[in-house]
Amino acid sequence: MSELNTDFNIPADVQDNWQEIVNILVKILDLPTALIMRYLDPHIEVFVSSESEGNPYHPGEREILFGSGLYCETVIKTQNKLQVPDALADPDWENNPDVKLNMISYFGFPILYPDKKPFGTLCVLDNHPNNYSATAEKLLIQFRNLIESHLSMIYMNQVLNETNKELTDYIAELQALRGLVPICSSCKNIRDAENNWHPVEHYILRNPKAEFSHSICPKCRKELYPNFKKE
């Protein structure tokens, strides 16, 4: 796999699809918040936020990730799901920054690039204690997998674009090489496509854009290298 450029843009139609994902999650699970977070070292950013009443998060908001104490920090560090039913009843989470926004329960999954590096997280949050059902977990997993499939397609398009550029450059180079005109190193006569040699001034008048490469005409070869025999 070629090196992945993790700074690539997410197309608008994909972002619209992701917006639908978080909106569906809050409706089905009856929650105030669903988010797609994006990790852009050293920050974690709200990339897509559900259009739901009571959601305190807005796209573009960001924090330094590591050392922040955010739920998403643990998800990205462990590359595993995190479920916090009630942060206020959990000493490990009672002082995390999201509690200040009254988001006291959390359920999130990592989103990975095709090379398994972290893209971010898909998560839901509630302002009440919530144990989150098996249905909630299945929905999050399925939507997370869909998001990762979108990232794979974007990555493949990136690879194809780079490959096409390399092929285009290679073809252009071949065409340039094919356009080179053999010119005798000694007398400067030109060889045409029929293997005939002409004075350079005659050829340039007929082909003003031609580029030249060195060769040697039969006459000069005979004079300069009498012992050379052409195969």
pLDDT of residue 161: 62
pLDDT of residue 111: 98
pLDDT of residue 2: 47
pLDDT of residue 195: 79
pLDDT of residue 103: 97
Q: Over its length of 231 residues, how does the chain's per-residue pLDDT go in tens digits?
A: 445 555 678 999 999 999 999 999 999 999 999 999 999 999 999 999 999 999 999 999 999 999 999 999 999 999 999 999 999 999 999 999 999 999 999 999 999 999 999 999 999 999 999 999 999 999 999 999 999 999 999 888 776 666 556 666 555 554 444 556 677 767 767 777 777 887 766 655 565 555 545 566 777 777 766 766 554
pLDDT of residue 201: 62
Half-sphere exposure (Cβ direction) of 65: Cα atoms closer than 13 Å: 20
pLDDT of residue 156: 85
What the chain holds in terms of domains, given with CATH numbers, is 12-159 (3.30.450.40), 175-224 (no CATH)
pLDDT of residue 29: 96
pLDDT of residue 177: 46
pLDDT of residue 222: 74
